Structure 1
Amino acid sequence: MSKPPPGLRTGTLGTADIAFFVISAAAPLTVMAGVAPIAIMLGGIGAPAGYLLAGITLAIFAVGFTAMSRHVPGGGAFYAYITRGLGRPVGIGAALLAMVGYLGMATGIYGLLGSATVETAHALWGLDLPWLPVSLIGLLLVWYGGFRSIDFGAKLLGVLLIAETGILLLLAAGVLIDGGADGLGLDSFAPANVLVPGTVGVLAVAFAAFTGFESTVIYRREARDPGRTVTRATYAAVAFLGTFYAFVVWAVIQAFGDEAVVKAAADDPAGLFFSAITTYVGAWAADLMHILIVTSVLASLLAFHNAINRYGLALAEEGVLPRALGRVHPRHRSPYLAGVAQTVLGAVVVLGFGLAGADPYAQLLLWVNTPGMIGLMALMLLTAIAVPCYFRTVRHGEGRLRTVVAPVTAAVLLAVAIYLIASRVELFTGASPLVNTVLLSLVPIVFAIGVGLALRLRRSRPEVYARFAADPVRSGDPEADDTTPDPDPDKRSEPCPQPTPS
């Protein structure tokens, strides 16, 4: 009797481990030092409130999102939830959009790795390095981190995350101890400073700063007590990012003073945080911040790499992607072939931009990341819509707050957020209207291709189509938390049918 093929290492990750993956993907130090000055330029001293508002919106989304995670186990996350609520064609379209979105986020960040490393080497040692070899070396390092066991990745990310958040807290502590430029105050949260036209731009920047938080459910099969761990990690990640971002941006505003900070951000956005930490902590801390920005980017890349590998594994198990991508390493229990495929694809894109003479930050990062970010937000919107649709078709013990009120509210808020980001997309790309139109169009185009693939599968490979995001009870999945079988998504006569009689 042959042994079954190895699977992922179950019962390995706790709440803190999963939270490290999610928060690391957001790259807090890079987001603060690299992007927060733009938020201050746009929204003035009310910028910190924008991060709180974005965090509150995503916390509301998490209410329905985590409720559904207890009833729909597995590693498919977004696409599994969307399939259960909105049907297989929409679910397969979402699956393709998720893969492309995560790949876009990860691949673009290699441009940031190259540019950040080049800037750090020049600032600290006067070296002028080419960015392309740096990014390719980063690809290999990230591949190795993903190849190793998931607990190795969790420990590594834990160390890197503590270091990057620690340097930001050191900056904030220096400002608090010294009392800031003009004394400490809470004017940043006064309605008169928050309800200004520039807040629209701040919200667009703030939502982008949370990218990746939703990947908690991807690690469900490797989590200890997944029903509780995934929920706790999701709320912990949103709460930490929202409050931490708002606190750090507020501290930097205090460092320069309400009257001077906007001008300082406009004059030298890239140097705003380095100037503040040099003044309130010391030049050595600014040098350390330069180094930790590079490790922050590496941590973000490793977190995205692991998430993409598990999405690839789930889709290979569904039969949508080649079965080989679902192979798990017998020793490290990692989806190693999915990692190889992702690394090769990333190398092709990075080499393409490099050989074309593109700028690693302004083009590789911003142009590739922007459709990925908007695609992931579109998936959150579809998931929020799918939650009440799903819960109207099954017996469950969840209350209306979790299954109707919170997801509907989140859907409205996310739709507004997507509109704000799309309407101010030039803030992220710095590109021409033609390039921005192309980048925005990629999201619906990829989704439409996925729906077309679903319709083709239904005709040519009906067995694969029927298994896609199949009910875990009917398929014998031991992770199922709900004993009530789901109705087949394709047999629903309307998007949100009434519950079947119990």
Structure 2
Amino acid sequence: MNIQETQRGENQLAAGAISLPELVFTALATLAPLTLVAAVMPLHFLVGGAAVPGAYLIAAGVMALFAVGLNTVLKYLRSSGAFYTIIARGLGKTTGTVSAMLAVLAYNALQISTYGVIGTYAASSFASWFGISLPWWSYALVTLVIVGILGYRGITASAKILGVVLILEILALIVLAIVVLAAPEIGAVPGEIYSPGLVLHPSTLAMFALVFGAFMGFESTSIYSEEVRGGARTVRRATYIVVAFIGVFYSLMALIVVTAYGADGITGAAGNDLEGLVTNLFARLTHPWVFEIVNILLILSAFAALLALHNASNRYVYTLGRERILPHVFGRTHSRTYSPWAAGLLQSALGLIVIIVCAVGRIDPYTVLLLVGSALGFLAIIVLWSLCSLASLVYLRRVHPEEGVWRTLIAPGLAWVALTFIAVLVITNFDLFTGGDTTVNVIVWGLAVVAILGGLWRGLYLRRRRPEIYRDMAATTEISVVP
């Protein structure tokens, strides 16, 4: 068959720039595996205890169902706007503009909050290693410049760096698994960890609100659909690889941590030392130089996630600029590298503003900036997952029912029900993400409401005042399959 794609004219992204391995590395780097296991997974244990390993597999099953509908839609709609395009085509263009603003908010919140993480890690590490005492924001500013330059140079350079860092992160976690299993003082792998009675017990429901957060970023495979070699087939393969890796690898790493502390002791251990639950295993069971390497890799892990989120944010803003939902200047790409440089400058400017505000206002980069950004990002993304699964169902049933009942109804329908349930869990257990801080809650919900109202206003404005723009929204990326 021949694939005919609507011409976009100038300011295109670099078609064919990303291979399958590079796409997988880029998506997984967004998830920062080492950072997640060391810094985020302990909270999962605090809430879910020994049920966490099984929860990752269940979450992976739900995300695989979501991926069925998503990948089927991407055979026909390929866009760096990803969720925005699918939701606009499935649920209406005004709903699409709302989702677009939520996506921009989510990726920017996650990206900018990561500057707080890397600044904190770097300041602490450099003080320990070299006796250099500099504020966190100085390291954050240096990182901002480096990320901006790499984003400007194009996706190929970024993908190679992300691949190297990701491999090092995974190797570090494999080392942890080996030393835990080999340690004579640690007991055998506990049985019944994956029993449905444990994993699906009503007392562990809140755990799923946290565990699904480990999959944030898996959808970035679809964001690069205009730039991959092999088109929809490459995106489909990468998406399933990423989902399978997250589910299986994180489940195994969670099992290793449970083994280290015991099924009955993991919750108490997390409560006693949430921050050091995993890193203390490195310190206790490996040579001191291994522990120092892990500290270096934690900085690199945060950097890789930051670079991946920067690139993802760029492409959403670029798409919205290209379609004139945002100012058209943001839809420009570099004439040589095809990078969305204008959108990249916007990301760097926003990051600079937030870092300066936090520095001047003495806002804690970890307990405030990170909490606000991660909570806001996941809240927006889980809502987008739910909307996208429903939009996939509606679009496919209406336009491409020939894809079959499984791809067009059953898989996306089950995913929509499950993800909507998880969204409700996230909202009702939101204090788990914010620590119950009233100020943080007000900021997060306030920004979410502003994004929703802003997207709604923009959609209605374009429909009434700029019908020529509204008419072409989410239409320039459709692919017609001609026999």
- TM-score of the aligned structures, taking structure 1 as reference length: 0.90
- Asked if the contact 1:70/1:481 (under 8 Å) is kept, the reply is no
Deviations 1:403-451 (A, max 9, x none): 1111111111111111111222112112434642552353344223212
Distance in 2, Cα, partners of 1:94 & 1:193: 36
1:198-277 to structure 2, matched below 5 A, reads 198-277=203-282
The number of residues matched between the two structures is 475
Partner of 1:150: 155
Deviations 1:67-123 (A, max 9, x none): 111111222210111111111111111111111111111111111111222233345
- Asked if the contact 2:48/2:204 (under 8 Å) is kept, the reply is yes
- Asked if the contact 1:180/1:256 (under 8 Å) is kept, the reply is no
- Tell me the secondary structure at the aligned position of residue 226 of structure 2: helix
Structure 1 residues without counterparts, runs of 5 or longer: 474-479, 485-502
Corresponding residue to 2:164 among 159, 163, 169: 159
Amino acid at match of 1:18: L
Counterparts in 2 of 1:120 and 1:193: CA distance versus 1, 3 Å: farther
Give 1:180 deviation, angstroms: 6.3
Distance in 2, Cα, partners of 1:439 & 1:265: 26
Deviations 1:9-37 (A, max 9, x none): 21121221111111111111111100111
1:471-486 to structure 2, matched below 5 A, reads 472=477, 480-483=479-482
Deviations 1:193-238 (A, max 9, x none): 3234552232122111111111111111111111200011111111
Question: Is 270-279 or 430-439 further displaced after alignment?
Answer: 430-439
- Asked if the contact 1:43/1:197 (under 8 Å) is kept, the reply is no
Give aligned-pair identity as a percent. 36
Give 1:378 deviation, angstroms: 0.7
- Tell me the secondary structure at the aligned position of residue 448 of structure 2: helix
- Tell me the secondary structure at the aligned position of residue 213 of structure 1: coil
Q: Does 1:357 align with 2:362?
A: yes
Partner of 2:313: 308
- Asked if the contact 1:35/1:205 (under 8 Å) is kept, the reply is no
Give 1:55 deviation, angstroms: 1.6
- Tell me the secondary structure at the aligned position of residue 272 of structure 1: coil
Distance in 2, Cα, partners of 1:345 & 1:438: 17
Q: Does 1:390 align with 2:414?
A: no
Q: Does 1:297 align with 2:302?
A: yes
Amino acid at match of 2:68: V
Q: Does 1:367 align with 2:382?
A: no
Partner of 1:499: none
Deviations 1:224-257 (A, max 9, x none): 1112000111111111011111111111121222
- Asked if the contact 2:209/2:425 (under 8 Å) is kept, the reply is yes
Q: Does 1:65 align with 2:67?
A: no
Q: Does 1:169 align with 2:168?
A: no
Question: Is 172-181 or 92-101 further displaced after alignment?
Answer: 172-181
Distance in 2, Cα, partners of 1:400 & 1:179: 53
Structure 2 residues without counterparts, runs of 5 or longer: 1-8
Amino acid at match of 2:117: L
CA RMSD of aligned residues (A): 1.9
Distance in 1, Cα, partners of 2:449 & 2:412: 22
- Asked if the contact 2:401/2:408 (under 8 Å) is kept, the reply is no
Counterparts in 2 of 1:445 and 1:461: CA distance versus 1, 3 Å: same
Corresponding residue to 1:330 among 335, 351, 373: 335
- Tell me the secondary structure at the aligned position of residue 76 of structure 2: coil
Partner of 2:350: 345
- Tell me the secondary structure at the aligned position of residue 188 of structure 1: coil
